């Protein structure tokens, strides 16, 4: 047995050396990190981002690479384990010495790698809608900020004549922060506090610290909450702002349908349901409900059509292990990853160097833009992008029908402070 183990490890060692061998021609390549969870709970979502990044690198390499150098991906697995994310980030920056990293999905994973990137002066592109209130000199957020998703959706609903808003979400940082921002934003737009449903939580001084109704991850029984919503919506002109994440959306929407709340009488706008998530939901129950993203697969632009065609061709020919080929959907986080790579490429070319400080200066110049599948994306000095925001309604086939476009919305991470000041001014004026 011992002999077997020894010979086995010898074989595996040999295999590893063989694998590592072709990597060593460093002159004509540049290393770029991919830091996503490829196992664990988040793997379902994050594996898609690995796939789209591999596709983007292939596309760039085929057209000559970045400043003549081919991109060489270094893929590490964060395994849905937040401390591990920090370790893997350290490995990418200190051992592999990558020029740039694309990665992270959950806010907690981003918060976990942030100190590592700041210490080692790395560069991270973050592609998933998030709650804002953060700005690191080492992170560029191609993601939707709250004012590129939540507030445009509210603007749309207000324009549709909605007067009552029920806030519901999963109990963690993104829904809590977003709902608190919306609570203030709605008041600023003339919605009285009693017309914002879901309940409030105040601290000792009477300041509202949490607005809306929250359920834990994986919650299944929404009877009581939906009957609360039904009562809230009885007087008409009501809508629901839904930041529930993951699985719980299924029992929630089934209950909404059973209670007779239709999109015509009380629409639900969801911020965590994109095309990829809709593949696992009973879309027939969701027809007509709203979504808000900076990219929809159903966009009719020629850029999007050619992007989708090339992506599907790549899927057919690519043999990278673990890339699922059937029934693939493309959604906003994937496209924002794709945009991120091109923004980085253009910044490197402008800076004429892979040096992080020079690339950052180029990105912050406000001149780096890319006409991606979702429309033109421009990086701003505040590390967030300017891009189009779309409101869509769900169709039975799991796609969105685009109802409204807000062109060139500037991403702004810090909203709470400004809203507080504006609210104070408003109350003082009254």
Partner 1 sequence: MCKGGGANLRSLFHATMLKTKLAALLLFCSFVCGAVASDETVTRQKLVQAILSSGDEQQKLLSELADDNSKIVHDTLLSWTRDEIYLCETANGGAKIPVLLEEQQDAEGKARAIRIDDGKYLADEKGAELHFDSSDLNTLDTDMRLRSAVQQTLDLLALADPNRDARRDVVQKLGKSQKKQYLPVLQARLGKETDAGVKKAIFVAVATINLGDADPSAKIAAINQLAKLNSIGSLDDLQRAANSQNADVAKSAEAAIKSINGYLSAVNFFGTIFRGISLGSILLVVALGLAITFGLMGIINMAHGEMIAIGAYTCYFVESVFGTGFTFRIVMPFSIGGHAPGFGATIPGLHASGWFYETYFLFAIPLSFVMAALAGLALERTVIQFLYRRPLESLLATWGVSLILQQCFRLVFGANNVQVNSPRWLLGNFTLNDVILGYNRLFVIAFAVLIVIGTWLLLTKTPLGLLIRAVMQNRNMAACMGVRTARVNMLTFAFGSGLAGLAGAFLSQIGNVGPSLGQSYIVDSFMTVVVGGVGNIVGCIYSALGIGTADQVLQQVFGSPVVGKITVLICIILFLQWKPSGLFAARSRSLEG
Q: List residues near partner 1 by CB under 8 A.
A: 43-44, 159, 171, 199, 213-216, 218-221, 223-225, 227, 230-231, 234-237, 247, 250-251, 254-255, 257-260, 262, 264-265, 279-285, 298, 300, 401, 403
Pick 101 or 153: Cβ nearer partner 1:
153
Pick 70 or 254: Cβ nearer partner 1:
254
CB of 49 to partner 1, least distance (A): 15
Question: Distance (Å, rounded) from C-alpha 51 to C-alpha 58?
Answer: 11
The residues, ordered by sequence, that sit 6+ positions from 232 with a Cβ below 8 Å of its Cβ are 164, 166, 197, 238
Between the two ends of the chain, the Cα-to-Cα distance in Å is 84
CB of 57 to partner 1, least distance (A): 23
Instruction: Report the DSSP beta bridge partners of residue 139.
Output: 124
Question: Distance (Å, rounded) from C-alpha 180 to C-alpha 89?
Answer: 31
CB of 216 to partner 1, least distance (A): 6
Return phi, psi of residue 47, to 5°: -60, -35
CB of 194 to partner 1, least distance (A): 8
CB of 328 to partner 1, least distance (A): 12
Instruction: Report the DSSP beta bridge partners of residue 197.
Output: 166
CB of 69 to partner 1, least distance (A): 30
Pick 153 or 281: Cβ nearer partner 1:
281
The residues, ordered by sequence, that sit 6+ positions from 255 with a Cβ below 8 Å of its Cβ are 222, 223, 225, 226
Cβ pair 394, 286 in contact under 8 A: yes
Pick 95 or 194: Cβ nearer partner 1:
194
Pick 214 or 344: Cβ nearer partner 1:
214
CB of 280 to partner 1, least distance (A): 4
Pick 97 or 279: Cβ nearer partner 1:
279
CB of 319 to partner 1, least distance (A): 9
CB of 263 to partner 1, least distance (A): 11
Neighbours of 226 (CB within 10 A): 22
CB of 84 to partner 1, least distance (A): 20
Question: Distance (Å, rounded) from C-alpha 375 to C-alpha 367?
Answer: 16
Return phi, psi of residue 38, to 5°: -105, 0
């Amino acid at each position: 047995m011992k002999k077997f183990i020894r010979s086995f490890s010898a074989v595996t060692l040999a295999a590893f050396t063989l694998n590592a061998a072709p990597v060593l021609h460093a002159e004509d390549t540049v290393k770029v990190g991919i830091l996503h969870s490829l196992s664990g709970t988040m793997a379902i979502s994050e594996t898609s981002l690995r796939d789209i990044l591999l596709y983007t690198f292939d596309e760039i390499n085929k057209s000559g690479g970045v400043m003549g150098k081919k991109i060489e991906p270094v893929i590490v697995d964060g395994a849905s384990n937040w401390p591990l994310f920090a370790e893997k980030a350290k490995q990418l920056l200190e051992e592999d010495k990558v020029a740039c990293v694309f990665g992270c999905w959950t806010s907690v994973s981003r918060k976990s790698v942030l100190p590592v990137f700041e210490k080692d002066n790395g560069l991270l592109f973050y592609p998933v809608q998030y709650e804002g209130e953060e700005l690191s000199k080492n992170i560029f957020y191609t993601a939707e900020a709250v004012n590129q998703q939540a507030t445009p959706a509210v603007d749309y609903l207000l324009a549709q004549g909605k007067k009552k808003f029920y806030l519901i979400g999963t109990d963690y940082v993104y829904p809590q922060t977003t709902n608190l921002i919306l609570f203030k934003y709605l008041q600023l737009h003339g919605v009285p506090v009693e017309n914002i449903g879901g309940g409030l939580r105040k601290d000792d001084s009477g300041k509202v610290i949490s607005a809306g109704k929250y359920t834990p991850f994986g919650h299944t029984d929404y009877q009581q909450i939906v009957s609360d919503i039904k009562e809230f919506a009885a007087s008409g002109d009501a809508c629901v702002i839904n930041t529930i994440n993951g699985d719980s959306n299924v029992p929630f929407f089934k209950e909404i349908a059973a209670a007779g709340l239709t999109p015509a009488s009380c629409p639900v706008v969801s911020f965590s349901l994109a095309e990829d998530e809709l593949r696992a939901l009973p879309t027939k129950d969701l027809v007509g409900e709203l979504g808000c993203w900076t990219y929809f697969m159903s966009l009719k632009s020629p850029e999007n059509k050619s992007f989708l065609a090339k992506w599907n061709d790549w899927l057919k020919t690519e043999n990278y292990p673990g890339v699922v080929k059937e029934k693939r959907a493309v959604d906003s986080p994937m496209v924002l990853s794709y945009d991120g790579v091109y923004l980085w490429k253009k910044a490197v070319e402008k800076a004429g160097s892979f040096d992080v400080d020079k690339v950052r200066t180029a990105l912050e110049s406000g001149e780096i833009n890319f006409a991606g599948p979702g429309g033109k994306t421009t990086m701003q000095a505040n590390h967030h992008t300017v891009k189009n925001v779309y409101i869509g309604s769900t169709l039975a086939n799991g796609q969105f029908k685009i109802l409204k476009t807000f062109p060139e919305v500037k991403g702004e991470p810090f909203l709470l402070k400004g809203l507080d000041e504006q609210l104070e001014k408003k109350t003082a004026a009254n």
